[in-house]
Amino acid sequence: MSKDVIQELESLKKEIEDAKIEKARLEGQLKSVQERMRAEYNCRTVEDAQKKLTRMERDWDKLANTIETDFNELQEMYEW
């Protein structure tokens, strides 16, 4: 084999090894995020988390509207 082919194969081998290391790192991060998702939000899947997020956003909007309405009422009552 020529030197160019050997160098190319060695380069590809290094890329594969680097990719394996990166894959392991990302799998570890994924596992960590999934464990946190379960512990903090009681969600086992991404779909569960998306549903919970939708509910939380809806609740947030309701609360924000209530606060704004109450604040406006207070402003009118006490004219500040």
Mean pLDDT taken over the chain: 95
d(CA 34, CA 32): 5
Using one digit for the tens of pLDDT, what is the confidence trace for 19-32? Answer: 999 999 999 999 99
The encoded tokens of residue 3 equal: 């030197």
What is the rounded (10 degree) CA torsion for 5, 6, 12, 18? Answer: -160
- CA 58 to mean position of chain CA atoms: 19
pTM for the structure as a whole: 0.62
Q: Residue 1 above 80 pLDDT?
A: no
What integer pLDDT is reported at residue 2 of this predicted model? 87
Q: Residue 13 above 80 pLDDT?
A: yes
Using one digit for the tens of pLDDT, what is the confidence trace for 40-55? Answer: 999 999 999 999 999 9
Q: Residue 70 above 90 pLDDT?
A: yes
Q: Residue 79 above 90 pLDDT?
A: no
Q: How many CB atoms lie under 10 A from the CB of residue 48?
A: 14
**Strand, helix or coil for residue 42:** coil
